[in-house]
Structure 1
Amino acid sequence: MSGNPELRDRTKKFALRVIRLFTALPNTDEARVIGKQLLRSGTSVAANYREACRGRSDAELLSKLGIVEQELDESLLWMELLVESGIIPPARLDELRKEGDELLSMTVASIKTLKSRR
């Protein structure tokens, strides 16, 4: 399984955008705690998708894609908390949240396709 090159590229770019966001957060305890959680989950998306691309079986691929799905959902939660707590203005995260939603939809679609082949 070599994976989808577009998705591989987009998950890496998502991780890079999360890193840039983290470095631009205000230097408050709240921003740093939530930011570190987002940094962990947002970069994990790309790492786990890359691992999924190296899966030796459909079961292994499904397992890794399930982790990608969880990490994307978690990343979206941390972004929501950054906005709803007033740490970041909503407009600043609109594009990143949209990309996270799209990546999540694509991952879920891939999981459903794989499951239907079984």
Structure 2
Amino acid sequence: MTNSVIVNKSFNFALDIIRTYHFIRCKKREFILSKQLLRAGTSIRANVREDFGGEFRKDFGHKMNIALKEANETEYWIELLIASSYLEDEVANEMLNKCKELCKILNSIVRKVRETQEVQDA
């Protein structure tokens, strides 16, 4: 797989999500919100990985857009876990910042793919 910023950051973020999920389930005994966080947070990387095997540029844009939606959803779950005191401030803020960074990167990729497709379609 190609060595890119989004590939590396989304993989490392998925690992952080898994660790956080286990912490919330084991230490805080919370099962619903943590499962949502796990699903959305690891899905970002899954869509990025699936896309790098894509055959067409439109597939790339579509998968990156799905990854962006999952990143936005993950940001929501982190914010909810912070507000409900399931995540401690230092850990939570670090995760939230990483998630926002992924959102920015993915948003940039999606925007660039759309612009490229518009030029090609013209």
Q: TM-score, normalised by structure 2?
A: 0.87
Q: Which residue of 1 aligns with 2:93?
A: 94
Identity %: 27
Q: TM-score, normalised by structure 1?
A: 0.90
Matched, 1:9 2:31: no
Q: Does the CA contact (< 8 Å) of 1:8 and 1:50 recur in 2? A: yes
Q: Pairwise CA RMSD of aligned residues? A: 1.4
Q: Does the CA contact (< 8 Å) of 1:18 and 1:43 recur in 2? A: yes
Paired with 1:114 and 1:87, the residues of 2 have a C-alpha distance of 37
1:22-67 CA-to-partner distances (Å, cap 9, x unmatched) read 1111343xx2100000001111111100111122112111110111
Q: Give the 3 Å change call, closer, same or farther, for CA 88–37 of structure 1 in structure 2.
A: same
For residues 26-41 of structure 1, the aligned pairs below 5 Å read 26-28=27-29, 31-41=30-40
Q: Does the CA contact (< 8 Å) of 1:3 and 1:52 recur in 2? A: no
1:71-111 CA-to-partner distances (Å, cap 9, x unmatched) read 10111111001010122222221111111101110001011
| AA matched with 1:35 | S
Mark the runs of 5 or more structure 2 residues left unpaired by the alignment: 118-122
Compute the displacement of 1:4 (Å): 5.7
| AA matched with 1:42 | G
Paired with 1:109 and 1:87, the residues of 2 have a C-alpha distance of 31
Paired with 2:115 and 2:84, the residues of 1 have a C-alpha distance of 40
| AA matched with 1:68 | A
Mark the runs of 5 or more structure 1 residues left unpaired by the alignment: none
Which 10-residue stretch deviates more, 6-15 or 84-93? 84-93
Paired with 1:60 and 1:4, the residues of 2 have a C-alpha distance of 19
Larger radius of gyration: 2
Which 10-residue stretch deviates more, 46-55 or 3-12? 3-12
